[in-house]
Amino acid sequence: MPTGLNTGDSAWVLVSTAMVLLMTPGLAFFYGGMVRSKNVFSMLFMSFVSISLVTVLWFAYGYGLVFGPDAGGLGLIGFGDFRFANIRPTDLTGSVPTYAYALFQLTFAIITVALISGSVAGRIRVGPWMIFSVVWVTLVYFPIAHWVFDSSGWIHRMGTLDFAGGLVVELNSGMAGLALAMALGPGIRYRRGEPPQPSNIPLVMLGLALLWFGWFGFNGGSALNDGPTAVTAFLSTMIAGCVGMLTWMFLEWLRSRRLSKLGSATGAVAGLVAITPSCAYVNAEGALVIGIVAAALCSMAVEWKFVLGYDDTLDVVGVHGMGGIVGTLLIGFFSTGVVGTAGLFYGGSGALLGKQALSIVVVAVYCFVVTFVIGKVVDRLFRLKETEAEQLAGSDLQFGTG
């Protein structure tokens, strides 16, 4: 047994890895239930194929780009030995095997790619989507993950706090969804003003259940141990998700005196998204406020697409983009200082808030610009967007009628 190995911590990270991996099938069901019946299988497929694609890229070179020796000491990208085979089963990251840590981080990359598909649901060809995913995860996800998650990354060194991926997963997927939606343009049903037609609300709720379950591993597992930090992340995750659901429902009732079919599920996801970067840094009261603020702002942000004219089909921008911003920024106010730097409400200075804001801006701009270019190039070379006739017939026809 290698010196420094903690078997309890290792077991927790392995369990958390399985929980986070389950989030991608959960997302597939969540998305699948929200689209028309003729698009369900294509949505399921795009989530599931992300597992295979990203896993191969991760162990081919992705882990090296994210966690390899920093290139030139600039904190921009890892560029060391890309052969994952050089890592031995006895090598440790902290008190857990590096194998376990690499697998845990892999699941974050997988679900980030899958999340983007919701912004272009019902108007994208699956083959070119796979090409887009390969390029995007290489040029966008891997560099940003190095900036934030690796100790040599420039955002990490600056002192920005992002415990479980508010920048890397949530804001990143939201801005990528916005860029891709704008690069491809609105679908025919959006242009016609046709309302969404969810095909299966129970499937959505099943997806929410799997996502929520996995989120405890997503946030709690990021502690890399089974101690107080993991428990804090667990607690705040539960509170923010519940408060987000109730707040969204309350706001819907105030506006229209009715509850929508998807409102409670969307509100819960908004709360869970926002607590992701802050889960270990805030106490119960902070989690409560973050859940409320996230649900309120995300409920407004999902309406922006109708004002600004971009077709974010399943509200990836409004929920994950805005939720990531809210959760990352509010750390500057509500971080207790027990873990990390204290925020303004707990005796800290405004420096942390400034670092959080700067990181949000840089990640958002980089992700948007590079994703927009990738989307345009892949669409030009491989016809990423479906024709109007294909959209009306349904994306599932790409897989034949058998």
- Give the pLDDT score at 21: 98
Does residue 81 sit within a domain? yes
Does residue 74 sit within a domain? yes
- Give the pLDDT score at 401: 55
Does residue 2 sit within a domain? no
Does residue 127 sit within a domain? yes
For residue 102, the enclosing domain spans 7-396
C-alpha–C-alpha distance, residues 120 and 117, integer Å: 6
- Give the pLDDT score at 80: 72
Burial 171-201 (b: 16+ CB within 10 A, else e): bbbbbbbbbbbbbbebbbbbeeeeebebbbe
Q: What is the CATH number of the domain that holds 19?
A: 1.10.3430.10
The C-alpha angle with vertex 56 and arms to 54 and 62, in degrees rounded to 5, equals 70
Does residue 1 sit within a domain? no
Does residue 363 sit within a domain? yes
Q: Is 38 exposed, middle or buried (0-12, 13-18, 19+ CB in 10 A)?
A: middle
Does residue 300 sit within a domain? yes
CB distance 277 to 331 below 8 Å:
yes
Q: Tell me the C-alpha to C-alpha distance, in Å, between residue 389 and each of 102, 187, 196, 385.
A: 43, 11, 18, 11
Q: Tell me how many domains the chain contains.
A: 1
Does residue 402 sit within a domain? no
State which amino acid sits at residue 67: F
Give CA 147 to chain center in angstroms. 16
What are 252's two structure tokens?
């819907």
Tokens 């900036």 sit on residue: 147
Going residue by residue through the chain, which has 402 residues, state the pLDDT in tens, using 9 for 90 and above: 678 899 999 999 999 999 999 999 999 999 999 999 999 999 999 999 999 999 999 999 999 999 999 998 999 999 877 788 889 999 999 999 999 999 999 999 999 999 999 999 999 999 999 999 999 999 999 999 999 999 999 999 999 999 999 999 999 999 999 999 999 999 988 888 887 788 899 999 999 999 999 999 999 999 999 999 999 999 999 999 999 999 999 999 998 888 887 889 999 999 999 999 999 999 999 999 999 999 999 999 999 998 999 999 999 999 999 999 999 999 999 999 999 899 999 999 999 999 999 999 999 999 999 999 999 999 999 999 999 999 999 888 888 754
C-alpha–C-alpha distance, residues 21 and 19, integer Å: 5
